[in-house]
Amino acid sequence: MNPLSRRHFFQGATMAISATRVMGANDKINMGIVGLGGRGNNHLSAQLAIPGANVAGLCDVNQAARERAQARVAKAERPKAAEFTDMREMFASKAVDAISIATPNHWHALATIWACQAGKDVYCEKPASHNIHEAFRMVEVARQTKKMVQIGSQSRSTPHKIKAIQMLREGVIGQLFMAKGTCYKRRRSIGKTPVEPVPAGLNWDMFLGPAPMRGYTKNRFAYNWHWFWDTGNGDIGNQGIHEMDICRWAMGDIGMPKTVSSSGGKFVYDDDQETPNTQVATFGYGSKEIMFEVRGLLTGPEGGAPVGTYGVGNLFYGADGWAYLDEVTGFKVYKGEKSELVNEIKPERGKDTTVLHFENFLAACRSRNHKELTAEIEIGATSVMLVHMANISYRVGKSLAWDDAKKNFGDPAANKLMTREYRKPYVV
pLDDT tens digit string along 138-187?
999 999 999 999 999 999 999 999 999 999 999 999 999 999 999 999 99
Tell me the average pLDDT across 228-255: 97
**C-alpha to C-alpha distance for 55 and 32, rounded to whole angstroms:** 6
All structural domains of the chain: 6-156+353-376 (3.40.50.720), 158-349+387-404 (3.30.360.10)
Residues 6+ apart with CB under 8 A from 284: 257, 258, 259, 260, 261
Pick from 351, 327, 115, 162: which is nearest to 239 by CA?
327
Pick from 235, 215, 214: which is nearest to 226 by CA?
235
**C-alpha to C-alpha distance for 220 and 207, rounded to whole angstroms:** 10
Tell me the average pLDDT across 295-307: 79
Quickly state the pLDDT bin for 24 (edges 50, 70, 90). low
For residue 301, the model assigns a pLDDT of 76
**C-alpha to C-alpha distance for 97 and 108, rounded to whole angstroms:** 18
Tell me the average pLDDT across 238-253: 97
Alpha-carbon distance values, 58 to 64, 102, 198 (Å): 12, 11, 22
For residue 17, the model assigns a pLDDT of 39
pLDDT tens for 246-280 read 999 999 999 999 999 999 999 999 999 999 999 99
Kindly tell me if the per-residue pLDDT of 106 is higher than 70: yes
pLDDT tens for 335-347 read 999 999 999 999 9
Kindly tell me if the per-residue pLDDT of 296 is higher than 70: yes
Alpha-carbon distance values, 319 to 222, 290, 357, 370 (Å): 45, 15, 33, 35
Alpha-carbon distance values, 377 to 366, 402, 404 (Å): 17, 21, 19
Kindly tell me if the per-residue pLDDT of 9 is higher than 50: no
pTM of the model: 0.93
Tell me the average pLDDT across 235-245: 96
For residue 302, the model assigns a pLDDT of 76
pLDDT tens for 33-69 read 999 999 999 999 999 999 999 999 999 999 999 999 9
Amino acid at 169: R
Pick from 387, 394, 389: which is nearest to 243 by CA?
387
